[in-house]
Amino acid sequence: MPQMTLVQAINNALDTEMARDERVVCLGEDVGLNGGVFRVTEGLQKKYGPDRVIDTPLSESGIMGSSIGLAMAGQRPIPEIQFEGFMGPAYDQLVNHAARFRNRTRGAITVPLTVRVPWGGGIHAPEFHSDSPEAIYVHNPGLKVLCPCTPYDAKGMLLSAIRDPDPVIFFEPKRVYRSFREEVPEGDYTVPIGKAKVVAEGTDVTVISWGAMVFQCLEALDGLPEDLSVELIDLRTIHPLDFDTICESVTKTGRAVIVQEAPKTCSMASELSAILMEKCFLHLQAPVQRVCGFDTVMPYAKLELQYLPDAPRIAEAIKQVVAY
């Protein structure tokens, strides 16, 4: 089985689905000849031609809005927004249109599109190239929000996303794009939407994370005392959430730490914390803790590593929750 980076696995998923389904088209800024600024679409225009891998004008609203039209008329568009910080102009089309067509037409019109978005910090990129806005799209009904962080999951989940009948946002953690390789099957396989993954099993405390932060959590776990038994959950999909896996784990451990890059207030961590309160209250042995980005604007590169949660910050919270 070939070893692939996250970039290669996503590229391979696009290739797999474009070969299988000729309704699939990729479109966005610089995705064609240049293969995308992260090279995720590398080689696809050469293979499938400029009518299926399309360099668009520089317009996120144009990319998103016309993708909606493509989907309404039976294509399977995969728009790319070059960086999460440029979702702004696409926001109205995505949230107010893609997400609502099914409901407002009582199912008569649907929008099966998958928007790919390089996401998150940690790569010393310029301003507006490092944010973590995922919760905004969870808060707005009608979208599915995927945040896989391993090559295997990314390929399988992207294939699920493209085949899903509803609009999906597929966030790709830039920091992980080339950070490691793992075995990824060449052919067709899927990983289901809405299923979390238990990365490490444990009994004392549950750590819940997604995206690039999963690897910071793993690093934190490495530094903890041997006799501390930590269960680590990678959510993989943040909407719809896998309530069963989360609640089973916290019911077992009685303690939870949620780790995310995004600012703390009104975030996914807030939602998860509320869910645990509602569903696991009688099993909790300590207040649920959130290790997050600060409630500040994502700083430029010089300070970004002080902003992002790291292993020591995560380990400290885990120890305090366990000692409570």
Partner 1 sequence: MPIRKVYENSIEFVQVMDEQGVIDERLGKDLLSDEQITFLYEKMVEYRRLDEIAFTLQRSGRMYTYPQNKGQEAAALGSGFALRKGVDWLVPCYRENGALFLHGLPPELIFLHWMGDERGNAIPAGVNVTPIAIPIGTQMLHATGMAWAFKQRKEDRVVCTYFGDGATSEGDFHEAMNFATTFKVPCIFFCQNNQWAISVPREQQMASETVAQKGFAYGARSIQVDGNDLLAVYKVTLEARERARAGEGPTIIEAVTYRLGDHTTADDARRYRDSEEVAAWAQKDPMIRLRKYLEGKGLWNDAKQQVVEDRAKAFCSEIVKKSEGIAKPDVNDMFDYLYAEMPEELRRQKETLRTHSLGQDPSQAGLRSSAASAR
Ligand X SMILES: Cc1ncc(C[n+]2csc(CCOP(=O)(O)OP(=O)(O)O)c2C)c(N)n1
Contact by Cβ (8 Å): 194, 176? no
Contact by Cβ (8 Å): 219, 199? no
Using CB under 6 A as the binding rule, whether residue 119 contacts ligand X is answered as no
Using CB under 8 A as the binding rule, whether residue 204 contacts partner 1 is answered as no
Using CB under 6 A as the binding rule, whether residue 101 contacts ligand X is answered as no
Per rule CB under 6 A, count of chain residues that contact ligand X:
6
CB of 289 to partner 1, least distance (A): 4
Strand arrangement of the beta sheet that strand 53-55 belongs to: 53-55, 24-28, 76-80, 114-119, 168-173, 144-146, 237-239
Using CB under 8 A as the binding rule, whether residue 281 contacts partner 1 is answered as no
Please indicate whether residue 129 is annotated as part of the active site: yes
Distance CA 246, CA 280 (A): 10
* Residue 33 or 274 with smaller CB distance to partner 1: 33
Using CB under 6 A as the binding rule, whether residue 82 contacts ligand X is answered as yes
* Residue 62 or 202 with smaller CB distance to ligand X: 62
CB under 8 A: which stretch of 7-15, 197-205, 239-247, 285-293 binds partner 1?
285-293
Site mask for ligand X (CB under 6 A), range 36-65, x = bound: ----------------------x-x-----
Using CB under 6 A as the binding rule, whether residue 8 contacts ligand X is answered as no
Candidates 86, 101, 137, 307; binder of ligand X (CB under 6 A) is 86
CB of 183 to partner 1, least distance (A): 29
Grouping H, G, I as helix, E, B as strand and the rest as coil, residue 167 is coil
Q: Which residues are paired to 25 by β-bridges?
A: 77
Q: Which residues of 17-52 are buried (b: 16+ CB within 10 A; e: fewer)?
A: bbeeeebbbbbbbbbbeebbbbebbbebbeebeeeb
Distance CA 321, CA 142 (A): 35
Active site residues: 129
